[in-house]
């Protein structure tokens, strides 16, 4: 076991926890039926590779003879991106497990199947989505994925509706609210890194390019923007509406051709419906801004930008279509009960209620999208689509466009009527300085 991990682990549930390594994995997990069934009975033949490129965890791909392999994901007792100076509870693995299994039931074929969970070791063995790649990579390469927006819109509709008081029995939802309230250490990261630190000169933010500094100063002096960000933070922290993924950016999506899967829900929380969709649309928007930085002689990325736009449209449209279907056919929870509407012959009123509800989700979506753009551009956790652009002047110009767009989304979230309007403003921002 890693000494640093031992020192920093803090609130570890089990004294038996020990981080896996490429060398120890086969011997430590070799007796598990979940492994042997898929990889064969001789652990000595298994090939183990550590591929964790995220910010928090160990991730191993384990392959057997002629097998597709499995993913072994283990939490570390600290933030991998920062180091053991930033302890983080292993319990996030427990919450990820409970999120993954609920998502699998609520939105079939959208998340990796869980084969085994070990709470003491903070370890999940799950389906290896292969030959999928992280979507963020596709968005830099200019790779299109047919049906991606529809799949993500469906995932959001099904998980958000079915985790809420529109669907669950009240006591069951309250039990889950209590369960996931335990994941406060991960919420704390979002609360600080998304809603606060981008808006002042916080030590963790990292460097701001000199040419962007005047714009960043302007954002940080904008009282309306900061108040709005805190209003969104209050919704994030207090509006326990449904079970969210909590970190639904394009690095949490694996895609291959027309297939895709959503991974890494360890930031799971009960929160406002607009958060997941907002983060998702924000990350597509930033990829859109970044395209000129990834253009080549043969591809100016203009057509690829159109594909990103169509994917954003598909996310929102499929979300609203599927959410509306579920509203009409599965509204068995305590909110907007049929006994008050359909059973009284007031179907029209139920449709009006649905439309108002979607309006609220839309406004939240725009707000969360705006702050997500800000924090991924000038906060701690930045995105490779921008960071990999070598031409510094071009990079800063594209980042500046995105920052202004983010502010517009936050401050105009009550005025932006629909996804067409959102995209028209995106194109407008892309013509700016």
Among 34, 59, 349, 384, binds a copy of itself (CB under 8 A): 349
Task: List phi, psi (to 5°) of 248.
Answer: -85, 70
The CB-of-116 to a copy of itself minimum distance in angstroms stands at 27
51 binds a copy of itself (CB under 8 A): no
CB 294 within 8 A of CB 140: yes
- How far apart CA 422 and CA 5 sit, in angstroms, is 45
User: In whole angstroms, how close is the CB of 90 to a copy of itself at the nearest point?
Assistant: 16
Dihedral sign of CA atoms 306, 307, 312, 317 in order:
positive
Angle CA 381–243–225, to nearest 5: 45
Residue 239 or 382 having the CB closest to a copy of itself: 239
3-state secondary structure 124-193: EEEECCCCCEEHHHHHHHCCCCCCHHHHHHHHHHHHHHHCCCCCCCHHHHHHHHHHHHCCHHHHHHHHHH
Cβ at position 251, least distance to a copy of itself in Å: 25
Decide: is 306 part of the binding site for a copy of itself (CB under 8 A).
Answer: no
412 binds a copy of itself (CB under 8 A): no
Residues numbered 184 to 203 that lie near a copy of itself (CB under 8 A) are 184-185, 187-188, 191, 196, 199-200
332 touches a copy of itself (CB under 8 A) = no
13 binds a copy of itself (CB under 8 A): no
**Phi, psi angles (nearest 5°) of residue 35:** -85, -50
> What are the start-end ranges of the E strands in 259-326?
259-262, 269-271
36, 80, 233, 382: which one binds a copy of itself (CB under 8 A): 233
Q: Residue 30 class from Cβ within 10 Å (0-12 exposed, 13-18 middle, 19+ buried)?
A: middle
Q: Does 208 bind a copy of itself (CB under 8 A)?
A: no
Among 5, 20, 39, 240, binds a copy of itself (CB under 8 A): 240
Q: Which two tokens stand for residue 351?
A: 């449709």
Residue 215 sits in the site that holds a copy of itself (CB under 8 A):
no
Q: What are phi and psi of 282, to 5 degrees?
A: -60, -40
Q: Is 165 or 321 the residue whose CB approaches a copy of itself more closely?
A: 165
Contacts of 363 (CB under 8 A, 6+ apart): 274, 413, 414
Sites for a copy of itself among residues 147-186 (CB under 8 A): 164-165, 170-171, 174-175, 177-179, 181-182, 184-185
226 scored as a contact of a copy of itself (CB under 8 A): yes
Which is nearest to 162 in space by CA: 176, 182, 148, 149?
176
CB of 106 within 8 A of CB of 163? yes
Nearest to 381 by CA among 191, 159, 103, 193: 193
Selected from 353, 381, 394, 411, the binder of a copy of itself by CB under 8 A is: 353
Q: CA nearest 147: which of 303, 318, 285, 305?
A: 318
- Contacts with a copy of itself by CB under 8 A: the residue count is 48
Nearer to a copy of itself among residue 328 and residue 356 (C-beta):
356
User: Judged by CB under 8 A, does residue 342 bind a copy of itself?
Assistant: no
Give min distance, CB of 380 to a copy of itself, in A.
Answer: 16
Among 337, 384, 425, 430, binds a copy of itself (CB under 8 A): 337
> Is residue 305 involved in binding a copy of itself (CB under 8 A)?
no
User: Per rule CB under 8 A, is residue 105 in the interface with a copy of itself?
Assistant: no
| Residue in 81, 82, 204, 234 binding a copy of itself, rule: CB under 8 A | 234
Buried b (16+ CB within 10 A) or exposed e, 150-185: bbbbbbbbbbbbbbbbbbbeeeebeebeeebeebee
CB closer to a copy of itself out of 118 and 241: 241
Check residue 338 for interaction with a copy of itself (CB under 8 A).
no
Q: Which residues bind a copy of itself (CB under 8 A)?
A: 164-165, 170-171, 174-175, 177-179, 181-182, 184-185, 187-188, 191, 196, 199-200, 220-221, 223, 226-227, 230-231, 233-234, 237-241, 334-337, 339-341, 343-344, 346, 348-349, 352-353, 356
């Amino acid at each position: 076991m890693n000494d640093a991990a031992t020192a920093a682990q803090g609130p570890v549930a089990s004294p038996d926890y020990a981080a896996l390594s490429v060398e120890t994995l086969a011997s430590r997990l070799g007796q598990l039926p979940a492994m042997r069934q898929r990889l064969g009975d001789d652990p000595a033949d298994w090939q183990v590779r550590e591929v964790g490129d995220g910010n928090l965890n160990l991730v191993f791909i384990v392959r057997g003879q002629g097998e597709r392999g499995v993913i072994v994901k283990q939490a570390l007792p600290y933030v991998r991106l920062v180091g053991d100076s930033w302890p983080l509870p292993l319990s996030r693995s427990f919450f990820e497990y409970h999120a993954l299994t609920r998502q699998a039931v609520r939105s079939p074929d959208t998340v990796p199947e869980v084969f085994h969970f070990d709470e003491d070791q903070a370890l999940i063995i799950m389906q290896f989505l292969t030959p999928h790649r992280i979507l963020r990579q596709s968005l830099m390469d200019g790779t299109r994925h047919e049906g991606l927006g529809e799949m993500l819109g469906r995932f959001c509709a099904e998980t958000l509706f079915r985790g809420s008081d529109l669907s669950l029995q009240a006591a069951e939802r309250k039990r889950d609210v209590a369960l996931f309230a335990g994941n406060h250490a991960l919420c704390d990261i979002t609360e600080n890194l998304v809603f606060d630190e981008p808006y002042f000169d916080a030590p963790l933010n990292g460097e701001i390019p000199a040419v962007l500094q005047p714009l960043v100063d302007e954002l940080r002096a904008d009282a309306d923007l900061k108040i709005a960000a805190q209003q969104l933070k209050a919704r994030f922290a207090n509006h326990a509406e449904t079970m969210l993924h909590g970190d639904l950016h394009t690095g949490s999506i694996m895609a291959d051709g027309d297939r895709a899967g959503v991974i890494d829900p360890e930031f799971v929380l009960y929160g406002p419906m607009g958060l997941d969709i907002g983060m998702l649309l924000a990350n597509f928007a930033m990829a859109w801004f970044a395209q000129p930085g990834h253009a080549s002689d043969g591809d100016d990325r203009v057509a690829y930008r159109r594909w990103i736009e169509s994917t954003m449209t598909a996310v929102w449209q499929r979300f609203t279509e599927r959410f509306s279907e579920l509203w009409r056919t599965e509204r068995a929870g305590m909110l907007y009960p049929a006994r008050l509407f359909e059973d009284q012959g007031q179907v029209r009123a139920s449709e009006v209620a649905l439309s108002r509800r979607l309006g609220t989700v839309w406004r939240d979506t725009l707000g969360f999208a705006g702050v997500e753009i800000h924090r991924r551009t000038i906060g701690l956790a930045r995105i490779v689509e921008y960071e990999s652009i070598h031409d510094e002047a071009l990079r800063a110009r594209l980042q500046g466009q995105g920052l202004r767009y983010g502010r517009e989304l936050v401050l105009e979230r009550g005025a932006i009527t629909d996804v067409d309007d959102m995209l028209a403003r995106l194109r407008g921002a892309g013509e700016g300085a």
